[in-house]
Structures are given as structure tokens and as C-alpha cells.
């Protein structure tokens, strides 16, 4: 396969919510944008919306063994990977003592282990070009304590540590690694977490100085910024995109 000048971005969970908004921003910036998810219908709808520069791949990232061959196929077909946005994630709200071993492991598998495996495989390719940007998506759950999301909090806190560890090891080799910590963003995931829990919604908004939920596109703009040359001296940071939620009183 000949080397293409076309830049290639992978956005996991790019079929919906924040991931779809991130993918849209990369398409608008002329990246060939590969979106990964499990639900074919969601992927088809996203492809319809994003057009020719969007390439959907159906893959359950919990199936770790499927990841290395998928990355090899992407490289065979598109020649390079410039950007990886590790956005796919799941949440689970349960009382601490109700969380089973299986519940806990499942969240860790999707929100942490699969990100490590995909990043490792993509980094092997980025090392060949000596160039790349990886963006992990964390959460306010790792900035302060939120009740009833123990496994989610553990996974997102680990993502921030992993971002720093990856950044120190990979930045000397040309790969920048950063993290975005979204505040409360209007998506299906946050609707589930907030709409049936007015007290939690009130608390979230009460400490958000800008007074509104964020839009998925706000995270997309931050991701494109971190991926491109405007951020070429930025690595290892956790950037809150949160209307001030993380510093709110």
C-alpha cells in the first residue's frame, strides 16, 4: 500500500454521543476518520451523517484478541494512523455494595484494558512514522468523588495515570499523549445518569460556573486542538472541558 498524505484518525465509540461529535470535527478537518463501535445501526447512521471521509468498523473492543488484527487491517488499507481518540466507554450507577465482581471487571475491561491494548497496537504503527497523537477521554469522576460509580471512577482515574505514563515514554519518540476530562455533556449517557436523579443534576449544575451542560462538539473541538500542530508542545495533560465544573464551588 502506498503512503498516503491523507491523515487518518481513529475514534472509538465514534457512532454516537461525544465520539460522533469528535469524529465529525476530524472529518471537517479533512481527516479520514475511522469510527469503531459494536452497533452496526449506529455506525451506519454516523456514516450517513459524516460522508465519504468516515469509515465505520464494527468491533467489540472487549474482545481484546480482535484488536491487533483490526489495527493491521487499518494500516494495510490506509497506510498510517496519525491520531487515536480513545473515547468508547460505559458507565454503571449502582450502590457500592451492589457492584458484583463481574460488573466491576466489565467496566475495567471496556474503559481501561481495551484502551491499553488498542493504544499499544496503534503505537507500534506510530513509532514507524515517528509521529502521532493519542487522546484519552476521562471524566470528572477522576477529579473528585462521585457516589455510586465505583468501577467507572477506578477506570477513569487509571486513564489519567496511564496518560502520564504513556506521555513520558512515548513523547521522546514523537507521540504526544493527552487526556480530555469532559464535565457534564448532553448525551444519552449523561441523560441516563442525571435525568432520573434531580438531586445529582442540581449538584452537577450547581458547581458548573457556566451554568449549562456542555455540547459533544465542545469535546470535539478540544480533541482536534490536542491532535493538531496548535498543541505540538502539549503532552501528558488532562484538559478539563467542563464549563468550570472542576473548579466550581
Residue 133 vs 155, nearer CB to ligand NDP: 155
Task: Classify 147 as helix, strand or coil.
Answer: coil
Candidate residues 119, 143, 153, 190; the one interacting with ligand NDP per rule CB under 6 A: 190
Candidate residues 47, 60, 154, 201; the one interacting with ligand NDP per rule CB under 6 A: 60
Cα(185)–Cα(212) distance, integer angstroms: 9
Residue 36 vs 74, nearer CB to ligand NDP: 36
Give the interface size with ligand NDP as a residue count (CB under 6 A): 30
Q: Which residues does 51 contact at the CB level (< 8 Å), separation at least 6?
A: 27
Contact string (CB under 6 A) for ligand NDP, positions 89-128, x = contact: xxx------------------x------------------
Task: Classify 205 as helix, strand or coil.
Answer: helix
Is 19 one of the binding residues for ligand NDP (CB under 6 A)?
Answer: yes
Is 245 one of the binding residues for ligand NDP (CB under 6 A)?
Answer: no
Is 11 one of the binding residues for ligand NDP (CB under 6 A)?
Answer: no
CA dist 120 → 13, 89, 117, 222, 232 (Å)? 18, 18, 5, 23, 21
What H or E segment, with its residue span, contains residue 35? strand 32-37
In the complex, the smallest distance separating the C-beta of residue 32 from ligand NDP, rounded to whole angstroms, is: 19
In the complex, the smallest distance separating the C-beta of residue 215 from ligand NDP, rounded to whole angstroms, is: 11
Phi, psi (rounded to 5 degrees) for 233:
-110, 20
Is 61 one of the binding residues for ligand NDP (CB under 6 A)?
Answer: yes
For the sheet containing 83-86, what is the strand order? 54-58, 32-37, 8-12, 83-86, 132-137, 175-182, 238-241
Is 134 one of the binding residues for ligand NDP (CB under 6 A)?
Answer: no
Is 62 one of the binding residues for ligand NDP (CB under 6 A)?
Answer: yes
In the complex, the smallest distance separating the C-beta of residue 187 from ligand NDP, rounded to whole angstroms, is: 3
HSE, side-chain direction, 13 A CA sphere, residue 61: 28
Judged by CB under 6 A, which stretch of 84-92, 96-104, 125-133, 165-173 contacts ligand NDP? 84-92
- Sign of the C-alpha dihedral, residues 34, 104, 63, 112? positive
CA dist 243 → 26, 158, 200 (Å)? 22, 23, 17
In the complex, the smallest distance separating the C-beta of residue 2 from ligand NDP, rounded to whole angstroms, is: 30
Is 132 one of the binding residues for ligand NDP (CB under 6 A)?
Answer: no
Is residue 233 part of the annotated active site? The answer reads no
Site residues (vs ligand NDP, CB under 6 A) = 12-13, 15-19, 36-39, 42, 60-62, 87-91, 110, 137, 139, 182, 184-185, 187-190
Q: Active-site residues: which are they?
A: 152
Amino acid at each position: 500500500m502506498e503512503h498516503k498524505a491523507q491523515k487518518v484518525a481513529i475514534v472509538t465509540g465514534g457512532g454516537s454521543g461525544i465520539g460522533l461529535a469528535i469524529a465529525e470535527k476530524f472529518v471537517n478537518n479533512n481527516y479520514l476518520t475511522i469510527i469503531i463501535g459494536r452497533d452496526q445501526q449506529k455506525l451506519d447512521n454516523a456514516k450517513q451523517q459524516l460522508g465519504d471521509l468516515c469509515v465505520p468498523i464494527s468491533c467489540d473492543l472487549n474482545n481484546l484478541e480482535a484488536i491487533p488484527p483490526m489495527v493491521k487491517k487499518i494500516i494495510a488499507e490506509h497506510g498510517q494512523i496519525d491520531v487515536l481518540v480513545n473515547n468508547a466507554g460505559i458507565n454503571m450507577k449502582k450502590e457500592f455494595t451492589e457492584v458484583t465482581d463481574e460488573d466491576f471487571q466489565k467496566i475495567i475491561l471496556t474503559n481501561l484494558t481495551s484502551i491499553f491494548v488498542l493504544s499499544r497496537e496503534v503505537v507500534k504503527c506510530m513509532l514507524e512514522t515517528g509521529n502521532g497523537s493519542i487522546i484519552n477521554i476521562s471524566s470528572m469522576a477522576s477529579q473528585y468523588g462521585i457516589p455510586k460509580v465505583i468501577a467507572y471512577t477506578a477506570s477513569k482515574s487509571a486513564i489519567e495515570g496511564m496518560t502520564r505514563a504513556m506521555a513520558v515514554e512515548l513523547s521522546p519518540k514523537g507521540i504526544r499523549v493527552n487526556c480530555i476530562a469532559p464535565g457534564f455533556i448532553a448525551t444519552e449517557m449523561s441523560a441516563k445518569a442525571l435525568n432520573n436523579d434531580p438531586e445529582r443534576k442540581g449538584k452537577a449544575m450547581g458547581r458548573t460556573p457556566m451554568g449549562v451542560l456542555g455540547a459533544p462538539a465542545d469535546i470535539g473541538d478540544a480533541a482536534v486542538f490536542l491532535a493538531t500542530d496548535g498543541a505540538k508542545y502539549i503532552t501528558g495533560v488532562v484538559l478539563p472541558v467542563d464549563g468550570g465544573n472542576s473548579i466550581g464551588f
